[in-house]
Structure 1
C-alpha cells in the first residue's frame, strides 16, 4: 500500500518499457501504421490514425500486409503484437469516405480492389504461423474486427467496446448490439480480459519471454503470460461483472431460434433457383478470384485456437446436463479442461 492507493503487482516499472509512437520504425511517424521490431523478436504494429479513431485505410492495409509477410519469413521474429494509438480506439471501422469518393468518381474497380486487399489481409492474419496478438483496447467496430477475429489471441479490457454496425446500413447481416469489455470476453469475441493498467506489464513480460527463447514463441507459453495478467477478480462472485446473455436469456433466445417454425420463400429446396441464388448473392461485380498471400493449407472449417477461449454456452449447458445440473461438478470439469482459465467459473455461474 502507498498512502490510500493499492499497488497492483502487475503495474510496476514495466510501464516505462511500453513502446511510444516515436520509437516505431516506419518511415514517418505520420504513417497510418507504425512498426517496430524489438531486439527480443517481438514485432509491433501501431494503428496510427488516433484523430480518426484509427479508422482503417489503404495505406494501413498495405503497411500491415508488407510487414506481416516479412515477419512471417524472418527467423528472428517471434511474436506479433497489434494495437491502436491513443486511449479511445483499437480501430473504429474502415475509412468509408475514401470509398465513397471513389464510387462518386466512377472508380468502381479501385473501390473493389480496396475490399480485395482487405480480404487478403484477413486471410493472411488467419494463416500466419507466427503468433499474432490483437489488443482490442477501446472502440473495436466494423472493419476493425477483421484485424482481430482470425487471431489466436484477442485481448479485451474494461475500456473495450465491440459492435458490427454494418447491419444498420444494410451491408452485413450481423449483430449491431454494442458489447462492453466483460461481455466481449464472455461471448468469445475476445480470448482474454486484462485490466488496462496491466497491459504495459504484459507487453514487458512478453518481451522477457522472447529474450529467453531462440525461436518463434509457443502459443501455450503466450497464453500462460496473458493469463497471468488477466483479471482474477472476474471469478469472485461479489466482483464478477454480469454476462448480458447469461441466466435465462441464452436459453430463451436458443428456444426461440430452434422452436420457431420458419416461413421459407420458396417453401422447399426443390423450388430454389440455384443459378439465381448464385447470381444474386455470390457473383462478384468483377471476375477476380481472391488469391491468398500465403497458403498454409487447411480448410478453415474449424477454429484452431478454442483452447485459449472460454467454453461456449452450448458446451457449458451440455456438461451441466451430463452432470445432472450440478453446478460445482460442471465448474470443476470445465476449469480442469481449460487449465484454470480466468473467467470459466464466472461464465458458468452466469448461465445457471
Structure 2
C-alpha cells in the first residue's frame, strides 16, 4: 500500500522532499551528538598524568599544575603499566617525563593523604602509596629504554624520585630541588638512601638532614641534574628527541648537549664557599657529633645550619643519618627495600602525622615532636625500631636488576672522586701523574668531549681540594 502511494505521487518532488527531510533530521541529530560530545569533553576532568606519542618518543606529563604536580597513588598507577608497555615497544626509542605548567615538575608526594590514612588507622592502605611509588622509582632506575626527566620548576621529594635515578635529568633556570622530609617528620626516601651518599663528599648528608634548596645550574654542579637547558629551548629539544631513530644513550646525550647553555659568567656554585665546612662537620656518624662540629665553626653558615636542624624532627634526623650511612654500601634495590620498612615504622610513630598536620594542614609551623630534642632520641632504641626489625611485608620489586653505582653517571659532570683519582694518578693505566691544575681541567674536558660545565666544576673542586707541593706536584687534601 505504501509503495503504491509513493509510486502514485510525483517521483521528482516527493522522493526529493522525503530525502531532504530525512537529511535535515539526520544533520540535526548528528549536530546534537557532536555538541553533546564537545560539551562532555569540555567538562570531563583531564587525567592526572597525560601520555603523548610523537614519532619515536613517548612522554608522561604530570598534570596537576594547581597542586604543583604533587604525586599521588592514582598518578603512580597511571604511569606504571604504561611505562612497562613503552619499555617493550620497538617503536619507542626514548621516554620523557615533565610537569604541566612552568611552576613545578613535581613538588613532592601527596603526604597529606598518606598521613590522613595513617591517622585514621588505615596504615596498610597508606603503605600502598610508598610501596608502589618505590616500585615505580626502581623501574625508572633500571629501564633499558633511555629516560629523560625535564625538571622545569619545583622538584622535591617524590619528584626527585621520578627523576634522579634516570640517566638524563635536565635542569632549567626555573629548577628548584630539595629533599625537605626531615621538616615534616619523615626521611628522604624515593631512593634517597642511594643517591644522597653518592653526591660529592658530605653534600648528600647535608642536604638530606637540612632540606637545603638548590636552584638552576647548581643542581648540575651538585649532581642532581646532568644538563642545563634554558626553558625556552625545551620545545625544540623535545622535538629533536622525537626525531631520533635510535635508543642509544650516547646519541641521546649528544642530542641534549646541542641545547645546553654555558654557565653565566662568574657564576659561583652556591655550596662552594661552605663545602669544606660541610665535609668537616657532616662526616660524623651521630647527629650530636655533627652539631658539635658545627658549633666549633663559629660562622654564620654554621649557626644557620644548627638552627635549621634544631627545627627538624629529632627522630627524623637520627633515622636519616643512619639511613644514609647504610645506603652508602647497599645496592639500589636494597635501598628501596630498606626505605619501605622505614616508611612503615614512620606511619606507626608520632612525628610524621604531627609534622604534616602542623606544616601542611593547620600551617602553624610549630610541630610538637616526640621526643622534642635530639638528645632525647636514644640511638639504640631508634636502631632497634627502624633498622633491626624484620619487615612484616617486604617490598617486592618488579625486576631483579640492581647495582651499587649509577651505570649512566658519565652523562653528568665528573664527581670529586673521579677528579681525585686523576690528581693522584690512580686512573687505570695512567701511572703516577704530575699535572698542573690546568692540565687536570683539560683531561676532563677532553674525556667528556668539552661538555659544558666540566671546566667550571673541575676548577671549583681543585680550588678546594688541592695544593701544590715544593716539587711542583699537586697534592689532594683529604
TM-score by structure 1 length?
0.79
For residue 191 of structure 1, the aligned residue among 226, 237, 257 is 226
Question: Which residue number in structure 1 is paired with residue 47 of structure 2?
Answer: 31
Describe how 1:312-323 pairs up with structure 2 within 5 A.
312-320=415-423
Contact 2:93–2:244, Cα closer than 8 Å, also in 1? no
1:40-59 matches, within 5 Å, as 40-59=55-74
Displacement after TM superposition at 1:29 (Å): 5.9
Instruction: Report the count of equivalent residues.
Output: 305
Distance 1:142 1:90 in 2: 11
Equivalent of 1:309, from 412, 419, 443? 412
Gaps spanning 5+ residues in structure 1: where?
A: 1-27, 266-272
- Please state how far the C-alpha of 1:310 moved relative to its aligned partner: 0.2
Residues 71-86 of structure 1 aligned to structure 2 (within 5 Å): 71-86=86-101
Contact 2:56–2:243 (Cα < 8 Å) also in 1: no
Which sits farther off after the overlay, 286-295 or 66-75?
286-295
Q: Is the 8 A contact 2:103 2:152 kept in 1?
A: yes
Quote how far apart the aligned CAs of 1:251 are: 3.0
Aligned pairs for 1:239-258 (under 5 A) are: 239-246=265-272, 249-257=274-282
2:181 counterpart (166, 169, 185): 166
Q: Does 1:222 align with 2:252?
A: yes
What is the CA–CA distance in structure 2 between the aligned matches of 1:165 and 1:223, rounded to whole Å? 30
Alignment CA distance shift 1:63-1:110 (3 Å):
same
Whether the 8 Å contact between 1:136 and 1:160 is mirrored in structure 2 is yes
2:84 aligned residue (57, 66, 69): 69
Alpha-carbon distance in 2 for matches of 1:343, 1:240: 12
User: Which residue of structure 1 aligns with residue 447 of structure 2?
Assistant: 337
Provide the C-alpha distance between the structure 2 equivalents of 1:62 and 1:129, rounded to a whole number of angstroms. 20
Q: Is the 8 A contact 2:135 2:397 kept in 1?
A: yes
* Counterpart for residue 280 of structure 1: 386
CA deviation profile, 1:76-104 (whole Å, cap 9, x unmatched): 11110000000100000011221133123
Q: How far did residue 202 of structure 1 move?
A: 0.7
CA shift at 1:36, angstroms? 1.4
Contact 1:182–1:241, Cα closer than 8 Å, also in 2: no
Q: Determine the C-alpha separation between the residues in 1 that align with 2:122 and 2:285.
A: 45
Following TM superposition, by how much is the alpha carbon of 1:340 offset from its aligned partner in structure 2, in angstroms?
1.6
Question: How far apart, CA to CA, are the structure 2 residues paired with 1:127 and 1:259?
Answer: 32
Report if the CA contact (8 A) 1:159-1:181 is conserved.
yes
Per-residue deviation, residues 13-45 of structure 1 (Å, max 9, x unmatched): xxxxxxxxxxxxxxx76111010122x220000
| Residues 1:326 and 1:55: Cα distance change in structure 2 (over 3 Å) | same
RMSD: 2.8
- Tell me the alpha carbon deviations over residues 149-179 of structure 1, each in whole angstroms, 9 at most, x when there is no partner: 1101000001100011101123116141110
Residues 259 and 46 of structure 1, relative CA distance in 2, 3 Å threshold: closer
Post-superposition offset of 1:328: 1.1
Q: Which residue in the other structure is 2:459 paired with?
A: 349
2:56 and 2:244 in contact (8 A); partners too: no
Cα offset, 1:137, TM superposition? 0.8
Q: Is the 8 A contact 2:170 2:228 kept in 1?
A: yes
User: 1:288-316: CA deviations, max 9, x gaps?
Assistant: 22111233x3x421110111010112333
SS of residue matched to 1:129: coil
- Deviation string 1:228-264 (CA, Å, 9 cap, x unpaired) is 1111x22xxx7152112225x3234324445999869
Assess if the C-alpha contact under 8 Å between 2:69 and 2:106 holds in 1: yes
Q: Cα 1:340–1:64, aligned 2, differ >3 Å: closer, same or farther?
A: same
1:178–1:325 CA distance, 2 compared to 1 (3 A): farther
**Deviation for aligned residue 1:107:** 1.1
More helix by share: 2
1:94 paired to 2:94: no
Query: How far apart, CA to CA, are the structure 2 residues paired with 1:186 and 1:166?
Result: 22
How far off is 1:318 after superposition? Answer: 4.4
3-state DSSP of counterpart to 2:244: helix
**Superposed displacement of residue 324, structure 1:** 5.6
Higher relative contact order (CA closer than 8 Å, sequence separation 6+): 1
Structure 2: gaps spanning 5 or more residues:
1-43, 189-207, 291-317, 319-378, 426-432, 464-478
CA–CA distance in structure 1, aligned partners of residues 257 and 160 of structure 2 = 22
Cα distance in 2 for residues equivalent to 1:144 and 1:79: 19
